[in-house]
Chain A
Amino acid sequence: MSDLTPFEREKIRSILKREPTETELGIFTVMWSEHCSYKSSRLHLKKLPTRGPRVLVGPGENAGIIDIGDGYAIAFKIESHNHPSFIEPFQGAATGVGGILRDIFTMGARPIAVMDALRFGPLEDPGNARILEGVVSGIAHYGNCFGVPTVGGECVFEACYNGNPLVNVFALGVFRHDEIFYGRASGVGNPVIYVGAKTGRDGIHGASMASAAFTAESKQKRPNVQVGDPFLEKLLLEACLEAMKTGAIVGIQDMGAAGLTCSTCEMGSRAGTGVEIELALVPQRETGMTPYEIMLSESQERMLIVAEKGREEEVFRVFRKWGLDAVAIGRVTGDGMLRVKNHGVVEAEIPNRELADQAPVYDRPHDVPPYRPAGMDAPQFSSPDLTADLLKLLGSGDICSKQWIWRQYDYMVRTNTIAGPGADAAVVRIKETGSSVAMSLDGNARYCALSPREGTKLIVAECCRNVSTAGATPVAATNNLNFGNPERPEIMAQLVESIEGLAEACEFFETPITGGNVSLYNETLGESIWPTPVVGIVGLMRTAAPVTIPFKEEGRTVMLLGGLGSCDEIRFGGTQYAKAVLEKLWGLPPALDLDYEKRVQAAIREIVNGGLAESAHDIGDGGLAVALAECSMEGIGAAVEVASGLRPELLLFHEGPSRVILSTAVPAEVERIARAHGVEALRAGVTMKGILRIGNDSMTLVDCPVQQLRQVWEKALENQLAARV
């Protein structure tokens, strides 16, 4: 039953100075699993920048916290629920949302936004379509009932996610500085209180399952997937926040992966204390559960609280009001041990610190080039019809409207959503302060497959550009590293390069990483997924009406901030054009000039915040032509005429970064700001009703009614799902 290596078993014997009991072995197995201990990645995660003037709490707690001024702070983090979502898409995704929400409110913050990054295999396979539908309805089920808006995200289809979909959920909450709570079991003699749902047999060994590759038998692990109850979570949220106000709570932590085991030993370890619990007191929903099962259960919607001795009743009263179980199951001790008793008999006795923080750390071999699924040379290609190519891109899975997905999410509840799904960045206002938080979630496995380092830097740049296009200043980051099997050096090399790229870019954009998640062993039948780091960037701005993507008025100047960009054929191989039109992958990701990128971002912030842009949209997947089409979807298109030496396919569809399209009535003022920042601002054309026309040196490349662009783009996903029998 144990996934521990002989070396790890030996280490356990030396810690305990005896043979472990079965319960102890189970406890070590989950705590030292990849999922809980980060044993393969920890060494490299240390390279990430984690400090900054706004960082109040960095990695290591349940979520990172940054200062947003006016005495307020935000807590945010991203987590994966990849493995459970493959085995049982609906519950896997639902409990993914539930888990990250608890990470936020266990710190005292009220969740105000969720976003998700999803990856599936191509929808031609009905199995993948079923997973997509299950995941989306699971996220909707949990988030909508809980009452947190799902304000954005992304969804990408790639064959490497066949049998290994990715579900990464980001959540963000807000609170005052004096409302922050930590997961610490301080104060010897204080009671340890269990609150929330009763413990059942669901999810046992979920953390270890998430740390293993998939085999043909994996679907039999369905009982390892937890079952979510969003209503109970909503009660738990309200009860926890209310109980925190009593002043009787010393420390609090949610029971997520590895359940009672993880919460007890981590709280003890952080406080340098011991924790003693009696399992007979744990509320149970099944009979005959063994200590092993109770300690390893991953039943959802549970929290562990350490309260001030003598003030238990104040906590109990709040939980009674919300109709929840709250039971003292143990106490904080001074001996540093996790002591688990069952009806008075000691079942486990392990030093907290060794268990929680001294899992083995592996320097896995990575002295080979990262695995590349593609060659370097560009194939021959020449397009007979560029308008047809544009339509094909607009109807492709990665670029088409994701309306079918996000209309199932309540993205407006709490009446803070200023910019929701479909925008470059989601923007949520903080009612209490007059400021708003902009956030963007992005990943690009094609870029990272070609170069994990360059790809990851491009992702950070894109996120920061999205946030800047909304007018916000990027201030912090979180990340979810989804990779294959780290025991293979060419995969480990991908992970190391990606982390180093992430570190460099986050350092450069002054967005420290305040927390995140690593999901390894994303491998099915020996086939690893492409490296898929997902980055979430959070930015701050004064609350204001949003500048949105669509062109608003006819006759306005269309400008390309950052210019036309540059690209050669090698750097064209990771684009959506290469994927959707040429069905190939080659070469390298687009070239990124970090310094120029930063100046473009500063310029667009100043333009947007100065009220000079009527619309603004970052150029990303699909390049210039796709971005112009996206700006045209509300009916006002544009006639754009440029002069470029690039061949037409590259000019229209290359994905060189550091570019934003905007429409304005005051182009000279935009130019003045661009000049001041040392970036190009090209007058590329003029908005006009109903038509998108793009020409180069008076040769027409694209000419299409906006109505046709919209038809293809808006319904593509829905049609693809409906076409399935």
Chain B
Amino acid sequence: MRFGVVVFPGSNCDHDAWYAITHNLGQQAEMIWHDSPSLGGVDAVILPGGFAYGDYLRCGAIAKFSPVMTAVRRFAGQGGLVLGICNGFQILVESGLLPGALLRNRDLKFVCREVPVRVETVNTPFTSAARPAQTLRLPVAHGEGCYFADEDTLDRLEREDRVVLRYLDNPNGSLRDIAGICNERRNVMGLMPHPERAADALLGSTDGRVILESMVHSLVAQ
């Protein structure tokens, strides 16, 4: 399978995602520059972590206007798999591909640590390889990861089984402990934890692999 990793000028987890896909999963991956109007025929897209254009304004607020996001929107509209990690999640939310917003962490500090999250649904191409209610140990590293949406949106996300991951030890004040969600069509997912940082036993946890491997399985099944 061929993954595309989008590179904004301030992406800094782009190489980590590329490495996890190519070296830990043995799949193909290529970088896609932010001003590219096309995705070059990849099978799935990852929006990696980082600070897309510095994010001095609001995380992802400028990235949504970049040429590559037009291509990502089109790709998502055609049912292509899009995974937004951390800054990638922020960009998906800013772009309107996912509902809600990511606010400053409740204690106003950047937080970097491993947190336990629970898989809330295996009915997505990002979690199909997981066990229902499986607990994953995944690292977080963000200053603006507090998931926020109005009550109706939150209710709807839960009703439609679109809360994909929930924190068991909420590090940022996210409403209803939400760590990751998907869109209505279930082909676009955003999450604050970093699965690509938990794909190599040497670094402590390999729990992130289940998310990346689910994507591979889903692509093979298509």
- Contact pattern, B 71-88, Cβ under 8 Å of A = 1, otherwise 0: 000000000000000000
B54 contacts partner chain A, Cβ-Cβ < 8 Å? yes
Q: Which of B15-23, B118-126, B127-135, B176-184 contacts A (4 or more CB under 8 A)?
A: B15-23
A413 contacts partner chain B, Cβ-Cβ < 8 Å? yes
Judging by beta carbons under 8 Å apart, are B141 and A322 in contact? Answer: no
Closest to B52 in A: A231
- Contact pattern, A 398-421, Cβ under 8 Å of B = 1, otherwise 0: 000000001111111111011000
Closest to A408 in B: B110
A431 contacts partner chain B, Cβ-Cβ < 8 Å? yes
Judging by beta carbons under 8 Å apart, are B10 and A145 in contact? Answer: yes
In the complex, which residues of chain A have a beta carbon less than 8 angstroms from the beta carbon of B56?
231
In the complex, which residues of chain B have a beta carbon less than 8 angstroms from the beta carbon of A231?
9-10, 51, 53-56
A380-428: which have CB < 8 Å to B? 406-415, 417-418
In the complex, which residues of chain A have a beta carbon less than 8 angstroms from the beta carbon of B53?
231
Judging by beta carbons under 8 Å apart, are A431 and B19 in contact? Answer: yes
B161 contacts partner chain A, Cβ-Cβ < 8 Å? no
A417 CA to B205 CA, complexed, in Å? 12
Q: A231-B51, A231-B53 are in contact. Are A140 and B197 (CB under 8 A)?
A: no
Closest to B194 in A: A412
A56 contacts partner chain B, Cβ-Cβ < 8 Å? no
Min Cβ gap A114→B in Å is 13
Q: A145-B51, A322-B9, A431-B19 are in contact. Are A415 and B196 (CB under 8 A)?
A: yes
Judging by beta carbons under 8 Å apart, are B112 and A409 in contact? Answer: yes
A543 contacts partner chain B, Cβ-Cβ < 8 Å? yes
Judging by beta carbons under 8 Å apart, are A407 and B113 in contact? Answer: yes
Judging by beta carbons under 8 Å apart, are A410 and B197 in contact? Answer: no
Judging by beta carbons under 8 Å apart, are B20 and A415 in contact? Answer: yes
- Contact pattern, B 1-13, Cβ under 8 Å of A = 1, otherwise 0: 0000000011011
Judging by beta carbons under 8 Å apart, are B112 and A411 in contact? Answer: yes
In the complex, which residues of chain B have a beta carbon less than 8 angstroms from the beta carbon of A412?
112, 139, 141, 194, 197, 203
B111 contacts partner chain A, Cβ-Cβ < 8 Å? yes
Judging by beta carbons under 8 Å apart, are B111 and A408 in contact? Answer: yes
In the complex, which residues of chain B have a beta carbon less than 8 angstroms from the beta carbon of A238?
9
Task: Tell me which of A144, A409, A545 contacts B201 (CB under 8 A).
Answer: A545
In the complex, which residues of chain B have a beta carbon less than 8 angstroms from the beta carbon of A137?
109-110
In the complex, which residues of chain A have a beta carbon less than 8 angstroms from the beta carbon of B16?
413-415
In the complex, which residues of chain A have a beta carbon less than 8 angstroms from the beta carbon of B13?
147, 413
A406 CA to B112 CA, complexed, in Å? 8
B50 contacts partner chain A, Cβ-Cβ < 8 Å? yes
Min Cβ gap A417→B in Å is 7
- Contact pattern, B 42-59, Cβ under 8 Å of A = 1, otherwise 0: 000000011101111000
A415 CA to B55 CA, complexed, in Å? 22
Judging by beta carbons under 8 Å apart, are A146 and B12 in contact? Answer: yes
Residue among A232, A322, A411, A412 with most chain B CB within 10 A: A412
Judging by beta carbons under 8 Å apart, are A413 and B141 in contact? Answer: yes
A114-154: which have CB < 8 Å to B? 137, 140, 144-147
Judging by beta carbons under 8 Å apart, are A147 and B12 in contact? Answer: yes
Task: Tell me which of A140, A145, A229, A414 contacts B15 (CB under 8 A).
Answer: A414
Closest to B53 in A: A231
B221 contacts partner chain A, Cβ-Cβ < 8 Å? no
Closest to A232 in B: B54
Closest to B14 in A: A147
B30 contacts partner chain A, Cβ-Cβ < 8 Å? no
Closest to B51 in A: A145
Judging by beta carbons under 8 Å apart, are B202 and A429 in contact? Answer: yes
A712 contacts partner chain B, Cβ-Cβ < 8 Å? no
In the complex, which residues of chain B have a beta carbon less than 8 angstroms from the beta carbon of A411?
112
In the complex, which residues of chain B have a beta carbon less than 8 angstroms from the beta carbon of A145?
10, 12, 51, 54-55
- Contact pattern, A 225-248, Cβ under 8 Å of B = 1, otherwise 0: 000011110110010000000000
A69 contacts partner chain B, Cβ-Cβ < 8 Å? no
- Contact pattern, B 147-173, Cβ under 8 Å of A = 1, otherwise 0: 000000000000000000000000000
Judging by beta carbons under 8 Å apart, are A140 and B12 in contact? Answer: no
Judging by beta carbons under 8 Å apart, are A408 and B109 in contact? Answer: yes
Query: Residues on B close to A: CB < 8 A?
Result: 9-10, 12-13, 15-16, 19-20, 49-51, 53-56, 109-113, 139, 141, 143, 194, 196-197, 199-203
Query: Residues on A close to B: CB < 8 A?
Result: 137, 140, 144-147, 229-232, 234-235, 238, 322-323, 406-415, 417-418, 429, 431, 543, 545
Some 21 contacts from A to B, beta carbons below 8 A apart, are A146-B12, A147-B50, A230-B51, A230-B54, A234-B9, A234-B12, A234-B51, A235-B9, A235-B10, A238-B9, A406-B112, A407-B112, A407-B113, A408-B110, A410-B110, A412-B112, A415-B20, A415-B196, A415-B197, A415-B199, A417-B203
- Apart from the given pairs A145-B10, A415-B19, 14 other A-B contacts in the complex at a CB distance below 8 Å: A144-B141, A145-B12, A146-B12, A147-B12, A147-B50, A229-B54, A231-B9, A235-B9, A407-B113, A410-B141, A412-B194, A413-B13, A415-B20, A545-B201
